[in-house]
Amino acid sequence: MEQIKKFVMKYGIFLLFAVGILFYILGLFKYGVLANYPNFCEILKKTGEILAISGVTSSVLRIIQYNRIYQKALEDVIYSKTFLSKRSDLIDIWKNVSANLFESRFPEIHTPLLMLIIDKYFPINNNVSYYTDVKQYLCVRWKDENCEDNIVEIEEKIDLVVHTVNTDKTTYGTRHAVIFDEDLEEDKLKEIIDVVSYSVDDRSCVGESNIFSWKKENGVVEFCSSAELPGGKNEYHIVQEVRRIQNLNIDDFLNYSARFLIWNMDVEIEHPANLKVELFGSGTVKPFVPMYEKVNHKRWTYKGLILRKQGYTMTFNKV
């Protein structure tokens, strides 16, 4: 009985089609005694048509069902993490998927939107991937006690973890800029901005003078560092401290712009009581949240993702 049931389940559609064709032929040609019963032959022919069409329809539906199951299984394989991790054209796949997604939502601007995301916010041509737990501490003092010249000295310390895509050696760079007098002499640049300490995984880099550079252009003094992360792992603890001089008459703000993605950031500052300090988010999707505020001590935090080119602007005003 069980074997009969399995046979019917496996070949039932074909049997249905065959019986339908047989009924249709018998009704059409009226073999033997059937010639004496024309009405019965007509019924037999119609029944054959129904059975044959039912068999064909069931067969087509089963083929479609099998195709959907096969397609689903194939999609599960193609879009699985294991399969995708072995692809060498992930960027092209991501571009095609994103282009289709953006085109339906932003039909006229989807191309520049996609290129902006790839080129500006998620660059894929650098081994550095993102930063986490960024802590920035600033200490501001008047250059002279009377503060008549409106010049401040700022010690800026930043502590963060750099994450890389792979374990290759990687160049990690920073940039600081100060607006100053046009006639500032080249040999005075270090007096305006200089490195105090710089370490990668507790290894000091201050003695490696080749990784630091200074230049002046259009009244802007620029200090850059370019340290080599040794490779062999994907996380590096970076601590850098820079001392800078700012003339608040011509440069009364401090701007921080993320070079790579940042996950969570704290900013803390100590400053003279007669210096008003404010912080504003720059391009971030939400504001930096004040943690506490005293007359000479403030702290803000940002929980979440900060994209490249985003950050904050801090302003200084003597009161």
Residue that terminates a domain, selected from 81, 101, 136: 81
Q: Residue 127 has what pLDDT? A: 86
Which class for 107: exposed (0-12), middle (13-18), buried (19 or more C-beta within 10 A)?
A: exposed
Contact 192, 245 (CB under 8 A): yes
158 and 231 together in one domain: yes
Q: Is the pLDDT of residue 19 over 70?
A: no
So what's the pLDDT on residue 258?
Answer: 92
CATH number at residue 212: 2.60.40
Whether residue 160 is found in the same domain as residue 222: yes
Look at residue 271 in the predicted model and tell me its pLDDT.
Answer: 96
d(CA 93, CA 83): 13
Average pLDDT over the chain reads: 80
Domain-located, residue 282: yes
Question: Does residue 313 sit within a domain?
Answer: yes
How far is residue 319's CA from residue 139's CA, in Å, rounded to a whole number?
18
Q: Which of the listed ranges 117-131, 171-185, 261-275 does the model predict with the highest average pLDDT?
A: 261-275
Structure tokens at 79: 């879009």
Confidence category of residue 61, pLDDT binned at 50, 70, 90:
low
Alpha carbon distance 221, 247 (integer Å): 12
Q: What is the pLDDT of residue 182?
A: 72
Is 118 inside a domain boundary? no
Please write the tens of the pLDDT for every residue from 62-95.
555 555 655 565 556 555 666 666 666 666 766 6
Helix residue spans in 165-243 (DSSP H): 189-192
Question: What residue has token string 């009161």?
Answer: 319
- 96 versus 264: the higher-pLDDT residue is 264
Looking at the structure, do residues 193 and 72 belong to the same domain, yes or no? no
Mean pLDDT along residues 29-51: 62
Question: Residue 62 is part of which domain span?
Answer: 2-81
Identify whether residues 51 and 154 lie together within a single domain. no
pLDDT band at 195 (very low <50, low <70, confident <90, very high): very high
Domain closes at, from 17, 50, 81: 81
HSE of 29 in the Cβ direction (CA atoms, 13 Å)? 7
Least Cα distance to 266 among 135, 131, 132 occurs for 135
Buried b (16+ CB within 10 A) or exposed e, 206-219: eeeeebbebebeee
Between helix 2-29 and helix 38-78 the angle, nearest 10°, is 130
- Number of other residues whose CB lies within 10 A of the CB of residue 139: 14
Calculate mean pLDDT across residues 17-33.
62
- 194 and 304 inside one domain: yes
Q: Hey, what amino acid is at 19? A: V
Domain count, the chain: 2
Tokens 């990668």, located at residue: 200
Based on the fold, state whether residues 132 and 207 are members of the same structural domain: yes
Please determine, for residue 239, whether its predicted confidence score (pLDDT) is greater than 50: yes
The reply to whether 157 and 55 lie within a common domain is no
pLDDT in tens, 283-307: 898 999 999 999 999 999 999 999 8
Q: Is 164 a domain residue?
A: yes
- Judged against a pLDDT cut of 80, whether residue 216 lies above it is answered with yes
Confidence of residue 8 (pLDDT cuts 50, 70, 90): very low
